[in-house]
Chains A and B, each alone.
Chain A
Amino acid sequence: DQQVKQNSPSLSVQEGRISILNCDYTNSMFDYFLWYKKYPAEGPTFLISISSIKDKNEDGRFTVFLNKSAKHLSLHIVPSQPGDSAVYFCAATWGGGKLIFGQGTELSVKP
């Protein structure tokens, strides 16, 4: 049973435009949500997180939105840059350090 789902395996965006990556979850006990970026042959790199008591967190070009009633979160990247091309994982955690990852979305930002 997939508790964290990323339904879009890939996304292609033009440089300078907005990238929106989506994530859905089923477990209402999750208390933090995190986004990681992964390049080939590297480990995942933390991008941004949000507590379940908030609905928005912003860090530079990255903003995460949380809609608890819909059990949905999204990562917005504005403006998108070619260097943002990577696989993005949504992850969730509760009560400790156990991270549950979604399947990932491969973002391609074209110049």
Chain B
Amino acid sequence: GENVEQHPSTLSVQEGDSAVIKCTYSDSASNYFPWYKQELGKGPQLIIDIRSNVGEKKDQRIAVTLNKTAKHFSLHITETQPEDSAVYFCAAPDANAGGTSYGKLTFGQGTILTVHP
């Protein structure tokens, strides 16, 4: 099955700095890589995702990059703000031999991001 490793486990930055969180995955057939943000007391919420046919995707201050050869993808947040403080999770699906299952989804261990004003 899929194995997803996420680093770092905690990240502390000053407001206005950039933050980068990296995930590696093991299943070379995986082709969908989402990032979720979890605020205190809430369920995770999708903030950005990328499919394997592109190498980078941006949405305002947030970007995700994908390196399929190295099997890693990263979340980049620029000009961080205090409201970016949250727990961030990456994930990757378990693609079965036929590449059509996608029922199972494996999450990384999470990164606690703290943005100091």
| Same complex | no
